């Protein structure tokens, strides 16, 4: 049921955002040299690594920075002008709809972390391994919790992800997913969250 929900939502969002995504790709191509997309290995479902896709927001020399998935500071000199806008509006995440369609991700779930950061957090919070029992999401409970960044309170964020992963009923999860998606719309429109 969740997979059907994910595919329906991802294809609908892809249809609705196709033209804006083309405009974003053109803006990135015209404003800086280098690829339009940024790709990085992340830890996914059951700890299996997968490649995540994003619009490139940083200069090429800095795009592989392992902290780039945590750093959202718009004043960071490594972030391009177009990248600042994309990060503030979270539009840099739109290519992850492809990850949802491929089955690497879900629309809702704990956000995927880079391999090194995931390993570090697993050392700090061994109980957080439960977050890998569900597919990572395009958005999740942490993103709509009002927390500005994972480094503000990583233990709290991992507890939210763990609670989400522990939901056993498909109906409860679908209900929670729907609430998180609606809240995400407001977070994106108000340029808040992480």
Whole-model pTM? 0.86
φ/ψ of 107, rounded to 5, equals -65, -40
**What tens digit of pLDDT does each residue of 57-105 get?**
998 865 554 444 444 555 678 899 999 999 988 899 999 999 999 999 9
- The pLDDT score that the predictor gives to residue 86 is 93
More confident residue, 168 or 22: 22
**What tens digit of pLDDT does each residue of 27-53 get?**
999 999 899 999 999 999 999 999 999
**What tens digit of pLDDT does each residue of 153-188 get?**
888 888 899 899 999 898 999 999 999 999 998 887
d(CA 14, CA 101): 10
Tokens of 88: 């503030």
Q: Helix 115-124 vs helix 154-165: angle between axes, to the nearest 10 degrees? A: 90
Tokens of 120: 């570090």
φ/ψ of 136, rounded to 5, equals -65, 155
- The pLDDT score that the predictor gives to residue 102 is 97
d(CA 40, CA 62): 12
Is the pLDDT at 11 greater than 90? The verdict is yes
- The pLDDT score that the predictor gives to residue 78 is 86
**What tens digit of pLDDT does each residue of 125-149 get?**
888 888 999 999 999 998 888 755 5
- The pLDDT score that the predictor gives to residue 13 is 96
């Amino acid at each position: 049921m969740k997979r059907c929900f994910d595919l329906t939502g991802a294809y609908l969002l892809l249809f609705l955002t196709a033209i804006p995504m083309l405009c974003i790709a053109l803006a990135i191509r015209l404003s800086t040299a280098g690829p339009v997309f940024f790709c990085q290995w992340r830890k996914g479902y059951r700890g299996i690594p997968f490649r995540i896709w994003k619009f490139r927001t940083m200069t090429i020399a800095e795009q592989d920075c392992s902290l780039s998935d945590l750093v959202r500071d718009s004043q960071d000199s490594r972030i391009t002008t177009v990248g600042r806008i994309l990060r503030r509006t979270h539009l840099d995440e739109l290519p992850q709809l492809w990850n949802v369609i491929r089955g690497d991700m879900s629309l809702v779930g704990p956000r995927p972390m880079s391999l090194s950061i995931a390993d570090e957090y697993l050392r700090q919070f061994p109980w957080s391994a439960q977050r890998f029992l569900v597919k990572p999401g395009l958005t999740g409970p942490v993103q709509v919790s009002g927390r500005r960044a994972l480094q503000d309170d990583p233990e709290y964020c991992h507890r939210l992800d763990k609670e989400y992963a522990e939901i056993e009923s498909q109906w409860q999860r679908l209900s929670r997913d729907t609430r998180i998606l609606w809240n995400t719309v407001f977070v994106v429109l108000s340029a808040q969250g992480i």
